[in-house]
Amino acid sequence: MRHLINDDGTPFESSELQTLHSELDALDNNGRSEYRNQNASVIAKHSAGKFLIVSGPGTGKSTLFKGRISFWLEQDSTSKILCLTFVRKLVADLDSDIQGDENLTQAQKDQVEVHTLHKFARSIVEQNHGTTEWRFQPHFRIIGQSWKDVVWGDVLAFHAGLDPGLYSWKKFEEQLHNADFDEAIEWQNLKETYFKLCRFFNAAGFADLILRAKDALAENTNLNESDCFIIDEYQDFNAAEDALINQLVNNPRGLLVVGDDEQVLYEKLKSGKPNLIRNLYRNNDYANGMLPFCGRSSFHITRSAGHFIQQNRDTECIEKIYLPIKTDDDKPKVQVIACATAPTAVDYIEKFVADNKTAIGERKAKLAEGKEKDAFLLILTPAKEVNFYGESKKKITNIAAEYQAENRYFSEDYYKILSYYSLANNPQNNFTFRKVLHYENIAMAKVHELIKLAMQKNQNSCDLEVVEVKNATQKTNDIKTILEAGDQTIGQKIESLAGHISLSDKKRLKEDIERKAINQEEVTEIEHQEEEEAELEEIEVKKMGAIELMTIVGSKGLSADHVIIIGFDNVNMSRVTKNAFYVAMTRARKSLHILTALKSGGARQAHDFLEQLPDEHAEYFSYKKSNHTKSQLQGKQGFKDYLNSLNSMSQRRS
């Protein structure tokens, strides 16, 4: 069997892929591992300057990256290599693997940089102080998720006649993502105002950060010090990000682009364009390669996911081979569970946690010690807020919270106080001043008046001789004095702070300040952490505890021993794409549980994805809270019949 490489850049022919699929699937365990390793090794050492790799979930991207990096360094010891991805965990894992590679010298390790795309873009814009047209002062700030609407409200205030419903931030952000701006005079004026306001605030949003980085690279080619590049998750790039990458990798010594158009997740979140990777697949300038074997998920999970994604495939989709690395294993089939209510589903999760309490505790300890990277259990939900579980929402949230390694995120109260303190130390920071005006509940009309006046006078907000500015400045100084008082306990300081600003959770705030004091020494680090959290929030990603409750989209790039998907019904899963569900399934290594809970958010039946699961690799159960037992049902039809019987009983009772 030949390796899955087309040197001339032509797409793999469907008939050949089908033949190879059959031949690879006929291999025994040793044959599969040997082929996987040889195929990856040949790709890693291939002479092609530009290479596109189609890589399904769990098929060994990280190993390939390390092999390609070693190859490039062997070919030219002076190479500088840049790896870019959306996934923070991959950055941490790959960087850790590179630093721990005994085959590389420290000098070689220092020639490899691994970043998220947003962090790289921020670095480029910072070094260039913005662009020639839109300059920034040093140390510009990021407009995080929670401040986007506030800033856009400031923009709209300059155009009072426009309907906010028609001229929304969401619509403008989509134009930023697409690097394609509406030619209507209203949108052109809004765009101009937004960029002027960003310059006044010395701040940028994540979407326009990408555009600014592309322009900065065009203006100053010295900003790009790399000659070899690895671009990951290319299927989720939008037009603006693609333009940035094209500017970055112009005439590279080595370029490896990796993705899978069946794992597209960010079409709605940030206008990801799967056609970009499909076009690259047909571009003869790139050699084409493929990784066929999933080594992450168990036999039944891989088979189920592979079967699922093959149903009703998009005709434009890149055809690929996706097979389990083993011919069978002792792991369970996919578990599809029918529950009468949301509390029943939560009880199922509680029982699973109780049955695995020792293993979960061990994972929590190892995560804290840095000896493990993955969660034991991911609980994946179609919606960020699990409101469809009603009163059971808090219980399911507490299940995950109990096993967090630490309380990693600071409270809103903490960041509020940080803003006041930061402004006291740097009153010229107009973006922080804007935050304080927001916290002070100054009327929008007055805030607009102050911003407009400062911009007209070319002054900082703090220099305005108006009562609102004087009062805010005085309060920031008072708060700074309280925080720096050496003769008060944290509790006493919080009581004093409460006399100046409203606090929603004093207990949580006390824990936050005990963990990280707000002082001049720490303030820069804390603000940097705030922006890192904003980046995670931008694509709904978070760091790992032993048990995590997160959205399906937020699970991108993660894996866990066990995965429980909730909300698998005709109501709550209605907006989840087929690709997103495929990604959710393939996060699981050992077991996958899919829960349908009737009455949650009005659910009356399972989602239609049920029909696309293979019976030979899935088992169907009912679960009863009263005796904590699950009973096997007669396949898919038995599952549907059970749900119908529950609905009938519910109707008779009502």
DSSP H helices, 539-626, are 578-585
At 28, the amino acid letter reads: D
Q: In angstroms, what is the C-alpha Rg of the chain?
A: 27
Q: Dihedral sign, CA of 494, 499, 501, 504?
A: positive
- Give the β-pairing of 5-6 and 287-291: antiparallel
384 is in an annotated binding site: no
144 is in an annotated binding site: no
Distance of CA 162 to the CA centre of its chain: 33
Token pair listed for 114: 């691994």
Instruction: For 470-602, list the strands marked E by DSSP.
Output: 547-551, 560-565, 588-597
Select from 57, 61, 173 the least CA-distant residue to 579. 57
The backbone region for 82, taken as left when phi is positive above 0, alpha when psi lies in -120 to 50, beta otherwise, is: beta
47 is in an annotated binding site: no
Select from 430, 505, 419 the least CA-distant residue to 462. 430
62 is in an annotated binding site: yes
Which residues have CB under 8 Å from 230's CB, separation 6+? 65, 68, 69, 81, 82, 83, 84, 256, 258
Neighbour-count burial for 42-77, b at 16+ CB within 10 Å, e otherwise: ebbebebebbbbbbbbbbbbebbbbbbbbbbbeeee
What is the DSSP code (8-state) at residue 128? H
59 is in an annotated binding site: yes
58 is in an annotated binding site: yes
Token pair listed for 481: 């004095």
Token pair listed for 579: 């690709």
Block residue for tokens 């389990």: 324
Element housing 258 (H / E) = strand 254-259
Token pair listed for 160: 């009072």
Select from 579, 580, 588, 532 the least CA-distant residue to 558. 588
60 is in an annotated binding site: yes
Q: Please give the annotated binding residues, written as ranges.
A: 55-62
- Going by the annotation, the residues of the binding site for ATP are 55-62
